[in-house]
């Protein structure tokens, strides 16, 4: 009986941990794509040791080229579930199609809608329904050619289905400049704070596309008032099957966290 009670309380606790909390700056870190159990486990240990609560890892990878690595799919989801069991880290992965929403919800805590799917309304509706029924959180990235208004309306496809925690993620928009992969629109943060109650996090990795630019833009994201970050990190970026050029290695991630802690203390937040 005792055991049963403990278990039930554990489940309740799991479902009520929020992605974004007042007074906290949430850093979600992890590889672009899950490549193997060993790869995910090694970086998960780093993320856990840094005191973070959420980890990312792509199982279904929407790639611009049909010849690129498209992820381990169901096998990757299994690893994410094992990571949650082993380290207690909440997991984030991308839903790419109405067909994989249910199986992803079976295995992870946070459903991510990628930039390429921000205007896939059938997917948004399905994610809204499943997230509400199954108490999942949702991160919706900004389409790289979408206005803030279009983005907020896309988020409403999900919020209108119920009480789901929905978090916006700015990940860079397309402009004429080619020095960075996209242009990180940090002004989206104060604009969203004016227009919406939804929290907003920043993904500098996909925006800048180069690892050495990730740290300065992460500092700026914290200073501008974002509620958190999503960072690509890998134990061996040069060997990564996806987005290694923009992934922080372990040393860089540790140093970024040190710098963020300093900024967080100035702005009255705690990192988690
Ligand atoms: C990702 O986060 O893995 C990803 C593909 O990002 P985006 O949708 O912003 O390109
Ligand atoms: Mn990536």
Answer whether residue 12 is part of any domain. Answer: no
Answer whether residue 4 is part of any domain. Answer: no
| pLDDT tens, residue by residue, 35-74 | 999 999 999 999 999 999 999 999 999 999 999 999 999 9
| pLDDT tens, residue by residue, 219-266 | 999 999 999 999 999 999 999 999 999 999 999 999 999 999 999 999
> How far is Cα 40 from Cα 42, in angstroms, rounded to an integer?
6
Count of domains in the chain?
1
* Residue 175 · residue 141 · CB < 8 Å: no
242 CA: nearest ligand 1 atom:
3
Q: What is the pLDDT of residue 4?
A: 45
Answer whether residue 137 is part of any domain. Answer: yes
Closest C-alpha residue for ligand 1 atom 5? 114
Confidence of residue 7 (pLDDT cuts 50, 70, 90): very low
| pLDDT tens, residue by residue, 162-192 | 988 999 999 999 999 999 999 999 999 999 9
Is 80 exceeded by the pLDDT of residue 6? no
Answer whether residue 19 is part of any domain. Answer: no
Domain that holds residue 198: 24-271
DSSP string of 140-204? EEPPTT--HHHHHHHHHHHHTTSS--EEEEE--B--S--SSSSB--TTHHHHHHHH-SS-EEE-H
Answer whether residue 6 is part of any domain. Answer: no
* Residue closest to 153 by CA, chosen among 135, 165, 163, 166: 166
CATH number at residue 101: 3.20.20.70
| pLDDT tens, residue by residue, 65-122 | 999 999 999 999 999 999 999 999 999 999 999 999 999 999 999 999 999 999 999 9
Q: Which two tokens stand for residue 23?
A: 């007074």
Does the beta carbon of 137 sit less than 6 angstroms from any atom of ligand 1?
no
Is 70 exceeded by the pLDDT of residue 148? yes
Answer whether residue 10 is part of any domain. Answer: no
Does the beta carbon of 171 sit less than 6 angstroms from any atom of ligand 1?
yes
62 CA: nearest ligand 1 atom:
5
Answer whether residue 40 is part of any domain. Answer: yes
Does the beta carbon of 141 sit less than 6 angstroms from any atom of ligand 1?
yes
Answer whether residue 14 is part of any domain. Answer: no
* Residue closest to 93 by CA, chosen among 144, 125, 59, 49: 59
Ligand sitting nearest the alpha carbon of 205: 2
Does the beta carbon of 115 sit less than 6 angstroms from any atom of ligand 1?
yes
Q: What is the pLDDT of residue 163?
A: 82
């Amino acid at each position: 009986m005792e055991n049963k009670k403990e278990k039930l309380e554990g489940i309740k606790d799991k479902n009520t941990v929020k992605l974004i909390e007042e007074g906290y700056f949430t850093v979600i870190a992890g590889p672009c794509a899950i490549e193997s159990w060993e790869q995910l486990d090694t970086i998960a240990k780093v993320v856990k040791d840094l005191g973070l609560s959420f980890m990312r890892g792509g199982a279904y990878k929407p790639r611009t080229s049909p010849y690129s690595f498209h992820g381990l799919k169901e096998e990757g989801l299994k690893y994410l579930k094992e990571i949650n069991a082993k380290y207690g880290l909440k997991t984030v992965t991308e839903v790419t199609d109405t067909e994989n929403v249910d199986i992803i919800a079976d295995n992870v805590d946070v459903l991510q809608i990628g930039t390429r799917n921000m205007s896939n309304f059938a997917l948004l509706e399905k994610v809204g329904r499943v997230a509400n029924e199954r108490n999942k959180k949702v991160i919706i990235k900004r389409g790289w050619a979408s206005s803030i208004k279009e983005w907020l309306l896309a988020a409403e496809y999900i919020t209108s289905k119920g009480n789901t925690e929905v978090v916006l993620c700015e990940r860079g928009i397309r402009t004429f400049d080619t020095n960075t992969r996209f242009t990180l629109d940090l002004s989206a943060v104060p604009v969203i704070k004016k227009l919406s109650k939804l929290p907003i996090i920043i993904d500098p990795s996909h925006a800048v596309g180069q690892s050495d630019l990730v740290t300065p833009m992460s500092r700026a994201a914290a200073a501008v008032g974002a509620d958190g970050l999503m960072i690509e990190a890998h134990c061996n970026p040069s060997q990564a099957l996806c987005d290694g050029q923009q992934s922080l290695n372990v040393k860089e991630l540790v140093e970024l966290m040190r710098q963020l802690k300093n900024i967080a203390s100035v702005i009255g937040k705690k990192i988690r």
